[in-house]
Structure formats: C-alpha cells, structure tokens
Amino acid sequence: MKFIPNSNQKDCILDEMNLKDINELFSDIPKNILINNLKIEKGLSQPQVEEKLKKIAQKNKSFYEMPIFLGGGIKPHYIPSAVKSILSRSEFYSAYTPYQPEASQGFLQAMFEYQSMIAELTGMDIANASLYDGATALGEAALMCSRTNKRTSFIVPKNITWEKRCILNNYVKGANVTIKEVEYDKKTGKINAIDLQKTIDEETAGVYIENPNFFGIFEDDCQEISRLVRDNTSLFVVGVDPISLGIIKSPGEYDADIVIGEGRALGNPMDFGGSTLGIFACKKQYLRHIPGRIIGMTKDAEENRAFCMTLQTREQHIRRGKATSNICTNEGLNALAACTYLALLGGKGLERLSIKNFQQGQILAKKISSIPGYETVFSGIHFNEFVIRCPNITKLSQECMKHGIHAGLLLEHFYPNLKNCMLFGVTEMHSDEAINQLLKVLKEVS
C-alpha cells in the first residue's frame, strides 16, 4: 500500500472494513496463482527505455521485408489510404463507444453504419458495435446459446485454433456449459457430418462451424448441417472470414442464428498481432440476448435524426448481475476502419477482392503440390488457405527463414496426425516475386 498517499491511514481503513490484514481483500484469488515476489528490474530513465525499445523493435520485420505465407490467423490485406486518414482524425481516435450522444453523433453514426454493413454482409438482422476479437466472439456465442434455450452443451469442430479453444473453455467456466468436439473428415477437411449427428442431443444449446474452416476448406454442406441443428431445436452458429463473403452465400442464406468472425481483414493492419475486431450478428428474435453495444437510430427533441446507445439495461455498467456479458466497451476504432473499408470497396469491390484471394489460393496450392515431395492434404475446396504435406519440414522452415520468407504454419503441434504438414495462407498482397521466391526454396529442399 506504499504507493497510496494515505498509507498511514491503512490500519484505520482496515478496521472500518472489519479486516485484520490487507491480504484479506484478495482472498478470492486462488493461492496457486499468487506471486510472492516479483523480480522487477531496477527502473530506467525515459531515454534508456526508448533506447531499449528501439533495439527490440529492430528485431521485427514487416511483410514487405519478409513475405509471410502463414495460415491460420493474421494475413496481410491492402488498406486504402482513405481508411488511415479517417482513423487518424482526433474525433474518431478512440476504442470506446461514446456515452454522451449529444457530443458524439458522428462517431455513433459510424458505428450504426458499421452494424448495418455487417448485418447485410452476414445476412443477419442485427449486428452489435463489435467485440474484442473472433475468439471472444465465439465464447460470447456459446454463452448466448445457453442462456437463450437453457441447455448445457455447445458443439465445436476439432479443427479450430488452439486460441479459440482455450478462450472458449475459459468463457464457459462457471456457466455450467460443456464443450463437445466433433471430428473433421480426414479426406476432405470438412466437419464430419456423421460424428456431428452422433454428438448432437437434447442438451445441445448450439452448434458452431467455420466457413471457411481452420484448414481453409469451405463447408459446402451448410444447408444439411443447418437442417440437423434446426431439427434438434438448437442454435446454429457460423464463423466467417468476411473477405470470403464476396463470393459465397451469407450464413443468413442457410439459416444461421448467430454469425461471428474475425474482422481484422477489413481495413485493419496486422500490427504484430495487436488489437483486432470481433464480429457478432444474429437474428432479431435474439436481440435481448446479444452481448456488447447496440447503436440505434432515433429522433431528438426537434424531430431530427439522431443516434444513441440503446437497450442499455443489458449492459454490465447498469445491471451488472443481469448483464448479457462482461463486455463493457468495444473495438470502436477497428470497427470504424471496417466501416470505412467496406464503404470504399462497395459490393462489387468486395466481390473482386474475394475472387482475387480465392484465385491466389488455387494458383499457389497447385504450384506447390506440383513440386515433387509436396502434396495437398485435403480434397475440399479451399479459399486462400490450404494444407500441404512437405518433405523434411524442419529444414524447410529453417531454409525459408534464411531466405527471408515466413512459410506456412506447422500443424503437428496442434494436430499430431498432420505430421510434416503446413497451413499456407496467401492474399491479394502476395506478389509474383514473393511467390516465386517461396517456390524456389521449396524446390531446393525437396
């Protein structure tokens, strides 16, 4: 308590609270995670801190210095200058939803437009003003399914990222929700429909699929999966790559109840894994259950169009005990980037971008699999990510790094049966020169 100016009054405060020791305030923290002594280095001056940070930053390499073909997560996409220009304006430069509508109409309208665009893109009735990221959106979707139909299990495919699996399990702790996993088809890479049919039961609150999935494969049996989920009166949750929605059906077209996704690709930089954007949309009948902020359009006292936060009784800052979630802010700046990006692209622009990403994926997969020793693992149709079985994968990874290339994601650590397999990712940003550079190294290692 030394850092508190009135530390000399500590005993009086503890006595008033009927406590004997300051540590009693932290009694709810599990003892196994308490740290007795923090080994913190001696403080540095500001110039010293800046110098240290510069040295750390010099270890980083941008996409332009080191082409990245890493699948399963963040990939580079072109960001128009107009997006960066609008984001840098001081009146927008915040991650928070404004609490004072009379002073924040511009930002609130931008969030309303973002919601409208996401709802249209996903084919849903409602979208919120964003969540933290795609993984936390999955956790929120599981909880929303359970509180909607009062059931206690949530089904996910085994081929989701370990980050999503960990965050999902953390979200449902204490909520009496059990996570069940469904196998993927070893030939196609799609969800195993037979295993799903065996797993779903009367306690299934919701079923989650990704389209495209973690392996980059399109789930083309969505109508059948939707029918199976609907027959069980469970909720159907679909995770999307928003860029792919330029060429495939929206989840609303195959009767999804909730749509989530990672929105970083919509006008947001890679930022070495920094802040991101969680997409969350649903059917209108679940409006009262949706987590996060909702911006609505209304009229002011003079009958002029106005925007405001709405349905705030769902929010934890008003009714903490009955709130739909513990989300108390959103990714406003990232959502603004997505809104600006989609407005600039328009429907036709998004379609062209989606086609380009699809074509890049098909071309690169074909070129790599034509090299002796390399083969495509799954037969399902993929978007801009795909799995390749490679020879001498450790040496391959090292050689790519030596040549200034970041190759695909090694999958064996997450999926032991995918030994010597890499998940490659490619976008509209990958030049012919970068692709040829990668192919050259792959040929040398084979």
Q: The tokens of 82 are what? A: 């107009």
Residue type, 260: I
Pairing of strands 294-299, 305-310: antiparallel
CA distances from 142 to 39, 168, 236, 260 (A): 39, 8, 10, 11
CA distances from 202 to 74, 193, 197, 235, 329 (A): 37, 17, 12, 12, 35
For 15, other C-beta atoms within 10 Å of its C-beta total 10
For the entire predicted model, the pTM comes to: 0.89
Hey, what domains does the chain have and what are their CATH numbers? 81-341 (3.40.640.10), 346-445 (3.90.1150.10)
The pLDDT of residue 2 is: 52
The pLDDT of residue 1 is: 44
The pLDDT of residue 73 is: 83
The pLDDT of residue 321 is: 75
| Burial grade of 87 (CB within 10 A; 0-12, 13-18, 19 or more) | middle
For 69, other C-beta atoms within 10 Å of its C-beta total 24
For 2, other C-beta atoms within 10 Å of its C-beta total 5
The pLDDT of residue 241 is: 97
pLDDT in tens for each of the 446 residues of the chain? 455 566 667 888 888 899 888 888 888 888 888 888 888 888 899 999 999 999 999 988 889 999 999 999 889 999 999 999 999 988 887 666 677 777 788 889 999 999 999 999 999 999 999 999 999 999 999 999 999 999 999 999 999 999 999 999 999 998 999 999 999 999 999 999 999 999 999 999 999 999 999 999 999 999 999 999 999 999 999 999 999 999 999 999 999 999 999 999 999 999 887 789 999 999 999 998 999 889 999 998 899 999 988 887 677 677 777 778 877 777 889 999 999 999 999 999 999 999 999 999 999 999 999 999 999 999 999 999 999 999 989 899 999 999 999 999 999 989 999 999 999 999 999 999 999 999 999 999 87
